[in-house]
Amino acid sequence: MRFGVVIFPGSNGDHDALKSVELGLQEEVVPIWHKDTSIDNCDALLIPGGFTYGDYLRAGAIARFSPIMEAVTEFAERGGPILGICNGFQILTEAGLLPGALAKNSELTFRCDWIHVRVESDRTPFTATLDPGTVLRLPIAHGQGRYVVSESQLAELEANDQIVFRYTDSQGIEHDDYNPNGSTAHIAGVCNERGNVVGLMPHPERAYDALIGGDEGLKILRSVVDAGLSTVRA
C-alpha cells in the first residue's frame, strides 16, 4: 500500500508523517508538493500538521487554495481514504471536506501534551480495525484545536455517526478536565458523511514507537492498511 503526504509551505508534520509510515508501518510513502495538480498511484493520503502559510489569516485558510487541493477533493470524491492531522484537519474543514471548524483553544495558549482519545466509530478506514471504545494515548500540540459546530450540526454528526474520536481520561471516560482545548462535546476527530475523510487534532504520526513516548498512533495508520478499503488508485 502506498501513502501520499501532502506538503504545503509551512507544513512541519510532513517529516513525522513520512517517518511514521516508513519506519512505523514499513509501507511505501511519497511526498506530494502542494503545487502539483494530480495524485498518482496513492492508496491513502495524509495531510500533515504545521502552520501552513503561517496560519496568519486563519489556520488552514490559505492552504485550501493550493493547486493540489483540487486533486485532493477529487481523491475524496472517489472514496479515497484521507487523514487530516492537526493543521491538516484545519485545512480539510476550511476546504469543506469535513464539517465544523477549529477555533483557538479555550485556554488561549498552545498546548503540548499526551492525552487519551476514545474511538467512537469504526466505519472509517482509519478506525475500521478498532473496536469503538478503544482508548488510544496520543500527543497533542496545537493552539487552535477547539472543535466547534452548532447544536444542529452536532445532532447531525451524531445521527450520521461522523464523530470518530473523543477526548477522555485513560479509562475512556469523558470529563471536561480531560478536554484539552474546550472542543464541543469533547470531539477530537470527525469524518465526512461517506466516512472516507477523517480529521483529528491529536498526532497519530508522532506515536509510532515506544521509544518516543508511545506507538498507539500506529493503530490508526495500520487500520487503513489492514482494512484494505482503498480501491481508488488512479
Partner 1 sequence: MTLTITPEALREVALTQSEYDQIVELLGRAPTAVELGMFGAMWSEHCGYKNSRPLLKHFPTSGSRVLQGPGENAGAVDIGDGLAVVFKIESHNHPSAVEPYEGAATGVGGIVRDIFTMGARPVALLNSLRFGPLDRQRNQYLFGGVVGGIGGYGNCLGIPTVGGDIYFDEKYNGNPLVNAMCVGIVEHDKIMRAKASGIGNLVVLVGADTGRDGIHGATFASVENPEESHRGVVQVGNPFLEKLLLEACLEALEIEGVVAMQDLGAAGLTSSIVECASKGEVGIEIDVQRVSRRESGMSAYEVMLSESQERMLIIVTEEALPELRAIFERWDLHSDVIGTVTDDGNVRILDGGEIVANVPASLYTDECPVYIREGIESAAIVEARERDLSDVTDLASDAIGDTLLRLLASHNICSREPVVRTYDHTIMSNTVTPPLDADAAVVRVKGTNKAIAIKTDCNPRYVYLDPHLGGQHAVAEAARNVSCTGAEPLALTNCLNFGSPEKPDGYFQLQQAVLGMAEAAEALGTPVISGNVSLYNESGDEAILPTPTVGVVGLIEDVNQRAGMAPTNGSVLILLGTQEATLGASEYLSVVHGLVAGSPPALDLTVEHNVQSLVRSLIGVGLVTAAHDTSEGGLLVALAEMLIASESGATVELQQVLDANAGRLDRTCFGEAASRVIVATSAGNADAVIQRAQQSGVPAVRLGTVGGDALELDVAESVAVTTMKRKWESGLKVGR
**Main-chain phi, psi angles of 211, to 5 degrees:** -60, -30
108/159 with CB nearer partner 1: 108
Q: Does 143 bind partner 1 (CB under 8 A)?
A: yes
Among the listed ranges 15-23, 38-46, 63-71, 183-191, the one in contact with partner 1 (CB under 8 A) is 15-23
Lay out the site mask for partner 1 across 66-85 (x = CB under 8 A, - = otherwise): --------------------
Q: How far is the CB of 208 from partner 1 (least distance, A)?
A: 7
Whether residue 41 contacts residue 2, with contact meaning beta carbons closer than 8 Å, is answered with: yes
Compute the Cα dihedral for 227, 70, 96, 167 and give only its sign. positive
Longest dimension (CA), the chain: 45
Residues 148-187 that bind partner 1 (CB under 8 A): none
Q: Which of 86, 94, 120, 186 is catalytic?
A: 86
Cα distance from N-terminal residue to C-terminal residue, the chain: 13
Residue 141 contacts partner 1 per CB under 8 A: yes
Could you please report the per-residue DSSP string of 39-81? --S-SEEEE--B-GGGG-SSTTTTGGGSTHHHHHHHHHHTT--
In angstroms and rounded to an integer, the radius of gyration of the C-alpha atoms of the chain is: 16
* CB of 10 or CB of 79, closer to partner 1: 10
The yes-or-no answer on residue 86 being catalytic is: yes
Q: Does 60 bind partner 1 (CB under 8 A)?
A: no
Minimum distance of partner 1 from residue 73's CB (angstroms): 23
Binding-site residue total for partner 1 (CB under 8 A)? 34
Q: Kindly state the cell numbers that stand for 25.
A: 508501518
13 binds partner 1 (CB under 8 A): yes
Binding flag, residue 113, partner 1 (CB under 8 A): yes
203 catalytic residue (yes or no): yes
* 211 forms part of the interface with partner 1 (CB under 8 A): yes
Alpha-carbon distances, residue 91 vs 133, 153, 169, 170, 212 (angstroms): 27, 19, 28, 29, 27
* Active site annotation includes 205: yes
- The answer to the question of residue 139 lying near partner 1 (CB under 8 A) is yes
For residue 130, report the phi and psi dihedrals to the nearest 5 degrees.
Answer: -110, 135
Q: Which stretch in 38-46, 69-77, 126-134, 138-146 sits in contact with partner 1 by CB under 8 A?
A: 138-146
- What are the catalytic residues? 86, 203, 205
Per CB under 8 A, residues contacting partner 1 are 9-10, 12-13, 15-16, 19-20, 23, 35, 50-51, 53-56, 108-114, 139, 141, 143, 203, 205-206, 208-209, 211-213
